[in-house]
Chains A and B, each alone.
Chain A
Amino acid sequence: MTTVLIDYDSGNLHSAQKAFERMAAEVGAGDVIITGDPDVVAKASRVVLPGDGAYPHCRDELHGISGLADAIIESVEVRAVPFMGICVGMQLLAQKGYEYQETEGFGWIDGEVQKITPADPSLPVPHMGWNDLVIDTAHPVLDGIKTGDHVYFVHSWQMVLNDPTQRLAHCDYAGDVTAIVGRDNIIGAQFHPEKSQDAGLRMIANFLQWAP
């Protein structure tokens, strides 16, 4: 069993790697490797797409590595392995994003990535810090995580869904902010599970044992 964290020049890989390694050891989920090699991704039993940064930059870097995007698409659509997107990695699941320019995503979740606009204009953007989750739909990856648990967000853009059944959790920031999305073998977290202490580590452990 191998979980791969996709490396495409997008930041926070170290903390994600350490969190996944820690939980993989606890639940006996095998190896965790960081790679941008399409051949390794093609054999992975789980795929994690992290992402810190601007949407078009992340998308360009991902597609700049020959064969990598295809290997991810094949893993998700054909081999149907469990897939998790984190932060911009979650936003890339949408049809498109509008940060700096209009950019196509994978289109696996029916939504678009738009600038956060709190109804209270005095609230700062980025939405940065610990916010409490409201669980919309029960899911195996959210086992043991309940409404009111705090997780760490840091983002200026958020996914707005056309299909509300694909929203698994949200939080309030003078308006709803999408926190977790999912369908079939795909799940995405806008917040950073790897920086969210107990609730985040729990979610990672659940993902590593998830058999959709």
Chain B
Amino acid sequence: MLKTRIIPCLDVANGRVVKGVNFVDIVDAGDPVESAIRYNDMGADELCFLDIMATEENRGTMYDLATRTAEACFMPLTIGGGVRTHVDVRNLLLAGADKVSFNSAAVANPDVLTEAALRFGSQCIVCAIDAKTVAPGRWEIFTHGGRRATGIDAVEFALTAQAKGAGEILLTSMDRDGTKAGFNLPLTKAITDAVSIPVIASGGVGTLDHLVDGVTKGGASAVLAASIFHFGTYTIPQAKAHMDAAGVPVRL
């Protein structure tokens, strides 16, 4: 049986892990490769690095982090942030990433997903969707780190991403990100009901019950969290034990 994945996410800026609340108020949370090794040893199911600077200068830093992580951690690594073309995908895969996540570039032109999927396969192309509640039961895509509204409906865009070749969706609720109030479950459920590819729920995890809810109520295939793991609130084994006890299949 396939197991639900628990994915610690490392937001990276200038070679350091950082963490903000609602995409602002950023604090330093350590060395990314040291964190990656710790999560590898604890049995995390995947790792995710998000380059929140996404500048040309930071790109070299991300390649270096991918390479150093892949030398020490024999587990799947997803990298996102500032990915624009299939050339970026190729370079990140060569550096050591296993999956690459598109965000703003896919919103601007969903065909970039197709161009990348045709070359490297859908299985390594993730489409990150940052959505904000604009009305009850309606969510809209925001890009550029959450600063730019697009007017695009999140559920419609998820279907477009799937049709264009994305193999997975990384869904972040911008209302919840960094709040510890739990995933936006109506949003998560709306997306997982609409698409047939795996969805990673992200944004808002504060307790281990939130992780369970993302799967049992949101229908997610994987759950992503940052702060609760970085700041030592919970360990990966604690999260897995809690999910197992709640009847969610995990790799123990």
Does A40 lie at the interface of the complex (its beta carbon under 8 Å from any beta carbon of B)? no
- A126 and B167 form a contact (CB under 8 A): yes
Asked if A131 meets B3 with Cβ closer than 8 Å, knowing A124-B197, A126-B197, A197-B40, the reply is yes
- B119 and A57 form a contact (CB under 8 A): yes
- A172 and B1 form a contact (CB under 8 A): yes
Kindly list chain A residues whose C-beta atoms are within 8 Å of the C-beta of B93.
Answer: 11-14, 52
Give the dominant DSSP class at A's interface: mixed
Q: Which of A75-83, A151-159, A180-188 contacts B (4 or more CB under 8 A)?
A: A151-159
- Chain B, residue nearest A152 (CB): B76
- Shortest Cβ distance from A14 into chain B, in angstroms? 4
Q: Using a Cβ cutoff of 8 Å, how many contacts connect chains A and B?
A: 124
- B124 and A131 form a contact (CB under 8 A): no
Asked if A195 meets B196 with Cβ closer than 8 Å, knowing A15-B70, A126-B167, A150-B251, the reply is no
- A154 and B2 form a contact (CB under 8 A): no
Partner of B124, one of A14, A52, A130: A52
- B251 and A128 form a contact (CB under 8 A): no
- Chain B, residue nearest A172 (CB): B1
Kindly list chain A residues whose C-beta atoms are within 8 Å of the C-beta of B120.
Answer: 10-11, 52-54
Kindly list chain B residues whose C-beta atoms are within 8 Å of the C-beta of A125.
Answer: 196-197
- Shortest Cβ distance from B64 into chain A, in angstroms? 12
Within 8 A of B (CB), among A1-43: 9-15, 18-19, 22
Asked if A131 meets B1 with Cβ closer than 8 Å, knowing A11-B120, A53-B119, A126-B168, the reply is yes
- B123 and A126 form a contact (CB under 8 A): yes
Partner of A132, one of B1, B70, B77: B1
- B198 and A150 form a contact (CB under 8 A): no
- B2 and A14 form a contact (CB under 8 A): no
Q: Which of B10-18, B19-27, B94-102, B149-157 contacts A (4 or more CB under 8 A)?
A: B94-102
Does B57 lie at the interface of the complex (its beta carbon under 8 Å from any beta carbon of A)? no
- Shortest Cβ distance from B2 into chain A, in angstroms? 5
A-side interface residues, number (CB < 8 Å): 41
Kindly list chain B residues whose C-beta atoms are within 8 Å of the C-beta of A194.
Answer: 74
Within 8 A of A (CB), among B169-206: 195-199
- Shortest Cβ distance from B42 into chain A, in angstroms? 11
B70-101: contact bitstring with A at CB < 8 Å (1 yes, 0 no)?
11001111000000000000100111101100
* Residues of A participating in the B interface, judged by any CB pair closer than 8 Å: 9-15, 18-19, 22, 52-54, 57, 88, 100, 123-132, 150, 152-156, 172-173, 192, 194-197, 200-201
Give me 25 A-to-B residue pairs in the complex whose CB atoms sit less than 8 angstroms apart, sorted by A's number.
A12-B93, A12-B98, A14-B67, A14-B94, A18-B96, A52-B93, A52-B121, A53-B121, A54-B118, A88-B121, A124-B195, A124-B221, A125-B196, A126-B122, A126-B168, A126-B197, A128-B168, A130-B45, A130-B251, A131-B2, A172-B1, A173-B2, A194-B74, A195-B76, A196-B74
> Which 6 residue pairs of A and B lie closest in terms of their CB atoms, listed nearest first?
A53-B121, A14-B96, A154-B123, A124-B198, A130-B251, A11-B93
Beyond A10-B120, A11-B124, A154-B123, 12 additional pairs, beta carbon < 8 A: A15-B77, A15-B98, A52-B98, A52-B123, A57-B119, A126-B167, A128-B167, A128-B168, A130-B5, A192-B76, A200-B74, A201-B74
